[in-house]
Amino acid sequence: MHRLRSWAATLKVEIIALWIAARDGRTPLVARLVASATAAFALSPIDLIPDFIPVLGYLDDLIIVPLGIALAIRLIPAPLMDEFRAAARARDDRARAPWVRQ
């Protein structure tokens, strides 16, 4: 259970970091486009394969979103991505209520 929470926390930081990267002018254009497209696909109510189709409905979300995140991270220079991750952690720490355990 601890591994799952750790993985979810890491994923949350990565997504926030990509959101920050998509809006930063120092991020290469291709990386900004990939990050924006991935976020739009993940949040869009329109799916390539409707979710009511058993197994296949969620398969597009389980494959395309993680691949888009991984591709965007690879396209962003490492020092810049480290900066975005630090900013994401700072935002996450500020947003967390003091009574919530980590």
Quote the CA–CA distance of 72 and 29 in Å, as a whole number.
Answer: 11
Q: What pLDDT does 75 receive?
A: 96
Residuewise pLDDT in 10s, the chain (102 residues) = 788 788 778 888 888 888 899 999 999 999 999 988 887 787 777 777 777 777 777 777 788 888 999 999 999 999 999 999 999 999 877 655 555 555
Q: What pLDDT does 96 receive?
A: 58
Q: What pLDDT does 53 receive?
A: 77
Cα–Cα distances in Å, from 32 out to 17, 64, 68, 98?
12, 16, 11, 33
pTM for this model (two decimals): 0.75
Q: Write out the E strands in 1-102.
A: none
Q: What pLDDT does 76 receive?
A: 95
Quote the CA–CA distance of 53 and 59 in Å, as a whole number.
Answer: 10
Q: What pLDDT does 58 receive?
A: 77
Closest listed residue to residue 93, CA positions, set 12, 18, 27, 39: 12
